[in-house]
C-alpha cells in the first residue's frame, strides 16, 4: 500500500494532532463530503485518502475497508443525531419534546450526507450490522423518554410512549426528507415543520386529539 504522505496542512495533518477519534471524524467527514458532491462511486479508499491527505494504509487501519467506512458513516450519523436531541434540556416536558423535534431538523440539515446514509440508502448494498442497528435506536429511545415525561405530567393522554415517539419521528422525518430534496422549496419550511410538529403532538394531548 502507499506510504504516509509528507507533513503538510491536510485535514489528516490537522486531525492527527488530536488523536484517533479526531482522525476517524476527519475521515468520515471527508467521505461524507465526497458522497454528497460526487455520489457513492466516489467512496473508494484511494479517493478518500487523497482528499483527506493520508495513506490508504491509515484508512484500512481505522476502518478495515470500504464496508467499515459505510458502517461508521451510519453510526456517526446516528451519534450526531443522538447528541443533538439529548442536548435539549428544557425543564417543561412539552418544550423539551418540541426542542428535540427542532434539533432533529437542524441536525439533518447540517449533516445531509450522513442523513442520506442513515435513511436514504445512499450507499448501494450497505446494510448495517445488528450491533449498528441497535445503536441507531438511541435517539428514538431519548424521544420516547421525553414522551413518557409528557404523559407523566398529564400533557399527553396515557399511551405507549414508544408508539407516540415513533409517530412523531415519522412525521418529523417525512417533513425533513421533503425539505432536503427540495420538494416545494425551502421557503417557509421551518414554519411548516413547526405546524406539523404541533399537529402531530396535539393528536396525543390529554383531553383531546386522538
At 171-188, the pLDDT tens digits run 999 999 999 988 766 678
Radius of gyration of the chain (CA): 20
Q: Minimum mean pLDDT among 5-19, 103-117, 193-207: which range?
A: 5-19
Name the nearest CA neighbour of 117 among 22, 196, 40.
40
Q: Minimum mean pLDDT among 142-146, 161-165, 182-186: which range?
A: 182-186
pTM of the entire structure? Answer: 0.89
Q: Minimum mean pLDDT among 5-14, 124-133, 166-175: which range?
A: 5-14
Q: Stretch 56-85: mean pLDDT, rounded?
A: 96
Three-point CA angle 169, 75, 182, nearest 5°: 50
Tens of pLDDT along 37-62? 999 999 999 999 999 999 999 999 99
Name the nearest CA neighbour of 155 among 164, 194, 19.
164
Superfamily of domain 67-210: Tetracycline Repressor, domain 2 (1.10.357.10)
Whether 143 and 168 have beta carbons less than 8 Å apart is answered as yes
Report the sign of the C-alpha dihedral through residues 43, 60, 124, 72, in that order.
negative
Count CB-CB contacts under 10 A for residue 204. 22
Name the nearest CA neighbour of 101 among 75, 140, 73.
140
Residue 2, pLDDT above cutoff 60: no
Q: Please provide the CATH number assigned to the domain covering 6-64.
A: 1.10.10.60
Cβ contacts of residue 184 below 8 Å, gap of 6+?
Answer: 178
Q: Could you give the residue range(s) of every CATH 1.10.357.10 domain in the chain?
A: 67-210
Q: Could you give the residue range(s) of every CATH 1.10.10.60 domain in the chain?
A: 6-64
Count CB-CB contacts under 10 A for residue 160. 12
- What one-character-per-residue DSSP string does 181-198 give? TTTT-STTHHHHHHHHHH
Whether 147 and 168 have beta carbons less than 8 Å apart is answered as yes
Whether 76 and 25 have beta carbons less than 8 Å apart is answered as yes
Three-point CA angle 23, 26, 30, nearest 5°: 140
Residue 4, pLDDT above cutoff 60: no
Q: How would residue 1 be classed by pLDDT, with cut points 50, 70 and 90?
A: very low
Q: How far apart are CA 112 and CA 117, in angstroms?
A: 9
Q: How far apart are CA 145 and CA 105, in angstroms?
A: 19
Q: How far apart are CA 185 and CA 191, in angstroms?
A: 13
Residue 5, pLDDT above cutoff 50: no
Amino acid at each position: 500500500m502507499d506510504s504516509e504522505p509528507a507533513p503538510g496542512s491536510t485535514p489528516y495533518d490537522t486531525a492527527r494532532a488530536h488523536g484517533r477519534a479526531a482522525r476517524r471524524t476527519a475521515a468520515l467527514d471527508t467521505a461524507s463530503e465526497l458522497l454528497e458532491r460526487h455520489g457513492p462511486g466516489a467512496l473508494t479508499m484511494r479517493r478518500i485518502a487523497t482528499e483527506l491527505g493520508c495513506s490508504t494504509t491509515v484508512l484500512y487501519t481505522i476502518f478495515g475497508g470500504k464496508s467499515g467506512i459505510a458502517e461508521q458513516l451510519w453510526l456517526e450519523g446516528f451519534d450526531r443525531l443522538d447528541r443533538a436531541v439529548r442536548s435539549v434540556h428544557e425543564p417543561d416536558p412539552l418544550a423539551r419534546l418540541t426542542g428535540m423535534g427542532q434539533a432533529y431538523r437542524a441536525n439533518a440539515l447540517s449533516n445531509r450526507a450522513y442523513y442520506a446514509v442513515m435513511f436514504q440508502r445512499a450507499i448501494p448494498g450497505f446494510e448495517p450490522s445488528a450491533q449498528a442497528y441497535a445503536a441507531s435506536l438511541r435517539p428514538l429511545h431519548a424521544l420516547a423518554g421525553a414522551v413518557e415525561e409528557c404523559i407523566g405530567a398529564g400533557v399527553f393522554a396515557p399511551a405507549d410512549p414508544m408508539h407516540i415517539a415513533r409517530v412523531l419521528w415519522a412525521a418529523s422525518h417525512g417533513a425533513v426528507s421533503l425539505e432536503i430534496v427540495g420538494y416545494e422549496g425551502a421557503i417557509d419550511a421551518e414554519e411548516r415543520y413547526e405546524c406539523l410538529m404541533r399537529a402531530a403532538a396535539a393528536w396525543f394531548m390529554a383531553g383531546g386529539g386522538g
